[in-house]
Structure 1
Amino acid sequence: MTNYKDGVIRDGSSIGSGRALGNVKGGVIRNGSSPGSGTALGNVKDGMIRNGSSPGSGSAIGNVKDGIVKTGSSKGSGTTVGKVSDFTIKGMERERDDEIVAVYHFLIKKFL
Structure 2
Amino acid sequence: MANYKDGVIRDGSSIGLGNALGNLKNGIIRNGSSPGLGSALGNVKDGVIRTGSSVGLGSAIGNVKAGVVRDGSSAGLGKIVGKVSDFTIKGIERERDDEIVAVYHFLIKKFL
Q: Name the counterpart of 1:29.
A: 29
Q: Is 1:81 the counterpart of 2:81 in the alignment?
A: yes
Q: Distance in 2 between matches of 1:26 and 1:16?
A: 20
TM superposition shift of 1:18: 0.1
Q: Distance in 1 between matches of 2:99 and 2:60?
A: 14
Instruction: Write the deviation string for residues 51-90 of structure 1: whole angstroms up to 9, x where unpaired.
Output: 0001100010000000000000111000000000000010
Q: Name the counterpart of 1:106.
A: 106
Amino acid at match of 1:18: G
Q: Name the counterpart of 1:91.
A: 91
Task: Name the TM-score, length of structure 2 as normaliser.
Answer: 0.99
Q: Is 1:65 the counterpart of 2:53 in the alignment?
A: no
Amino acid at match of 1:90: K
Amino acid at match of 2:65: K
Task: Name the TM-score, length of structure 1 as normaliser.
Answer: 0.99
| Structure 1 portions without partners, runs of 5+ | none
Runs of 4+, deviation exceeding 3 Å: none
Amino acid at match of 2:56: G
Amino acid at match of 2:101: V
Instruction: Write the deviation string for residues 8-43 of structure 1: whole angstroms up to 9, x where unpaired.
Output: 000001000000000000000000000000000000
Q: Name the counterpart of 2:56.
A: 56
